[in-house]
Chains A and B, each alone.
Chain A
């Protein structure tokens, strides 16, 4: 039953991390070393190689552990359930949407500007975090909240504390 996902919890991350560490290790030879006067006997390759190698070993450990759990599971007569991608997507749609709006938010912030993007982002994110049944009551407060926060934060942080929040389209208005 539940044990099914348990060994997958070892194998999948193990594979991802192993691939990641292989990619990381393969980048190391390309790093420029410094061999001039007073350079250290251990170059700037050593520690990354150490971490990368260590990570690879740990990832393999995880994969092996997962495979052994899987073998034990099958021996006990467990049945492997089929993974339903669509159901998983459906279950996590708020999370996926949140990441999508967050990505759009930061990606366009420089070009469009902090204020408009923050209004849109807050509006979208608040609605995503609200059950659809309550959207009717939420959209207006969400919009107002977005506008107030965006303008207030921009005023405090950009105008008063000199944090370089992107001006974007506000620039043409000299704000």
Chain B
């Protein structure tokens, strides 16, 4: 069966489809506004007429290419190409600003590859064990997980805690618009049926990152700066030395494990996994103060986690028939169309297809690394395009993405609204990133909290050890982050006072 799977993938046609899929995926992933999900949506119908292993190989290639491609625009433009690479901006962009775009891209690509492989390895070896784990996650556990992940916001915000929390709560609040979970009653829709779907994460991301980036550039128009960013065009290999790479391995492994863990749990997804592993990596690092200034560690944490999430998300999909996010839901459809029913019997009934999926994932990962490393020079060349042309074009593409998300022009209005909101937030020094966590996790929290309220009478919380552990962990995280935030706030204040004193002293001597 293993051989059969290998044979199915190692055909010229299939290899060709994988190559095309990876390339298209990278393009969709790298253009802000177009996502991996959209690539799969658009190509899924084309796979209906292919054979099962060809179709699913192409979809896997699109998935892996799409998730990986997001790092390109995150690093070069500070606009994440997909929700999964939000955290890549944090250190990727500062690296590019320092002239290390090549190194940042190389790091992202190589560790995306490593993350994908770790995810696939766990998918192949540990699926049965992890399935039981996934089944243990019910309403109580999800509720606790959402609270735990939201508590990470405090760690993410740094010294200005109220503003960080405002951002997160605002995100959660925006996510309440639309049909309420569970009972599907409209909330805050103002009678507009277009609002019933609520706001899409993609549209929020465009507003938060793409529009605010354009506005930031608009502010600097008269400040007479060059239109392009200089970068080290000479890239050797992957842009970083072997020694630097090896030093990142522990970070990559921890981040990948977090990525796989989040991937296994349906409904959370890559957007959260990259941010949580970034936070964990920062808080466990020996030099947390350097995060955000442009160091490899941040890119490694984000990119290995989001790619490992792919392998994680495939575990419940294949072994239980439970899709974790929009991407895997479509993969499920793609499999069912070919009469491959994911579930406990998939190995017995369609073993060859399962192995074909594994091989297709590995081949896709290799193609992904190959294409992206070869394409690096070209990607950096994009920076040579004057930004006064590049940014408007990116914004038009974002608009297309917003329309394509649900085929509604209405979403572009929302996009502009979010853009304005994000601009005002940035001007008020309210961080925008916690908002994404709040936006994604808010609905998870609400849905499961309300289910818990239904269960509580017959099924008390102390029957749920995972719930209890997560709640204790949340309390610990909150205490520790508040303490370190206060410390940081004091330090920031002291620095400020010192700076001011120095300034006034300088003024006096004059």
B339: Cβ under 8 A from any A Cβ: no
A123 CB to closest chain B CB (Å) equals 9
In the bound complex, do residue B221 and residue A32 qualify as a contact, i.e. CB atoms below 8 Å apart? no
B window 425-460: CB within 8 A of A: 425, 428-430, 442, 445-446, 449-451, 453-454, 456
With A95-B219, A99-B419, A129-B387 known as contacts, the answer to whether A47 contacts B449 (CB < 8 A) is yes
What are the residues of chain A within 8 A of B259 when measuring CB–CB? none
Which of the candidate stretches B115-123, B260-268, B401-409 sits at the interface with the other chain? B401-409
With A58-B169, A106-B412 known as contacts, the answer to whether A34 contacts B453 (CB < 8 A) is no
What are the residues of chain A within 8 A of B387 when measuring CB–CB? 129
B423: Cβ under 8 A from any A Cβ: yes
In the bound complex, do residue B163 and residue A48 qualify as a contact, i.e. CB atoms below 8 Å apart? no
One of A24, A31, A125 near B392 (C-beta < 8 A): A125
In the bound complex, do residue A55 and residue B170 qualify as a contact, i.e. CB atoms below 8 Å apart? yes
In the bound complex, do residue B420 and residue A99 qualify as a contact, i.e. CB atoms below 8 Å apart? yes
The chain B residue with its CB closest to the CB of A150 is B396
B180: Cβ under 8 A from any A Cβ: yes
B165: Cβ under 8 A from any A Cβ: yes
In the bound complex, do residue B416 and residue A106 qualify as a contact, i.e. CB atoms below 8 Å apart? yes
B11: Cβ under 8 A from any A Cβ: no
One of B185, B215, B409, B429 near A109 (C-beta < 8 A): B409
Q: How far is the CA of A16 from the CA of B424 in the complex (A)?
A: 11
Interface residues on B, range: 35 or more
A22: Cβ under 8 A from any B Cβ: no
B211: Cβ under 8 A from any A Cβ: yes
Number of interface residues of A (CB under 8 A): 65
One of A32, A58, A62, A106 near B415 (C-beta < 8 A): A106
B420 CB to closest chain A CB (Å) equals 6
A window 23-54: CB within 8 A of B: 24, 27, 31-34, 39-42, 44, 46-48, 51-52, 54
With A44-B182, A51-B176 known as contacts, the answer to whether A149 contacts B413 (CB < 8 A) is no
A131: Cβ under 8 A from any B Cβ: yes
A31, A47, A110 — which one has the most chain B CB atoms within 10 A of its CB?
A47
What are the residues of chain B within 8 A of A27 when measuring CB–CB? 188
What are the residues of chain B within 8 A of A59 when measuring CB–CB? 166
With A31-B187, A165-B400 known as contacts, the answer to whether A94 contacts B166 (CB < 8 A) is no
A175: Cβ under 8 A from any B Cβ: no
With A118-B396, A157-B404 known as contacts, the answer to whether A44 contacts B169 (CB < 8 A) is no
Contact with A along B90-113 (1 / 0, CB 8 A): 000000000000000000000000
Q: How far is the CA of A41 from the CA of B455 in the complex (A)?
A: 10
What are the residues of chain B within 8 A of A121 when measuring CB–CB? 392, 396
In the bound complex, do residue B450 and residue A40 qualify as a contact, i.e. CB atoms below 8 Å apart? yes
What are the residues of chain B within 8 A of A110 when measuring CB–CB? 409
In the bound complex, do residue A9 and residue B429 qualify as a contact, i.e. CB atoms below 8 Å apart? yes
Q: How far is the CA of A118 from the CA of B400 in the complex (A)?
A: 11
B217: Cβ under 8 A from any A Cβ: yes
B466: Cβ under 8 A from any A Cβ: no
A78 CB to closest chain B CB (Å) equals 11
In the bound complex, do residue A13 and residue B430 qualify as a contact, i.e. CB atoms below 8 Å apart? yes
One of A41, A61, A92, A157 near B219 (C-beta < 8 A): A92
A window 121-164: CB within 8 A of B: 121-122, 125-126, 128-131, 138, 141-142, 145, 149-150, 153, 157, 161-164
B172: Cβ under 8 A from any A Cβ: yes
- Top 9 A-B residue pairs of the complex, sorted by shortest distance between their CB atoms: A34-B183, A129-B388, A13-B428, A44-B180, A94-B218, A125-B392, A163-B404, A47-B446, A106-B412
* Besides the known contacts A9-B429, A149-B393, 4 further A-B residue pairs in the complex with CB atoms under 8 A apart: A40-B183, A99-B419, A109-B409, A164-B408
Show 29 A/B contacts (Cβ-Cβ < 8 Å), sorted by A: A24-B173, A27-B188, A31-B186, A34-B182, A42-B449, A42-B450, A44-B180, A48-B173, A51-B173, A54-B169, A55-B166, A55-B169, A55-B173, A62-B163, A92-B219, A98-B218, A107-B413, A122-B392, A125-B395, A126-B388, A129-B392, A131-B224, A141-B389, A150-B396, A153-B400, A157-B400, A161-B404, A163-B404, A164-B404
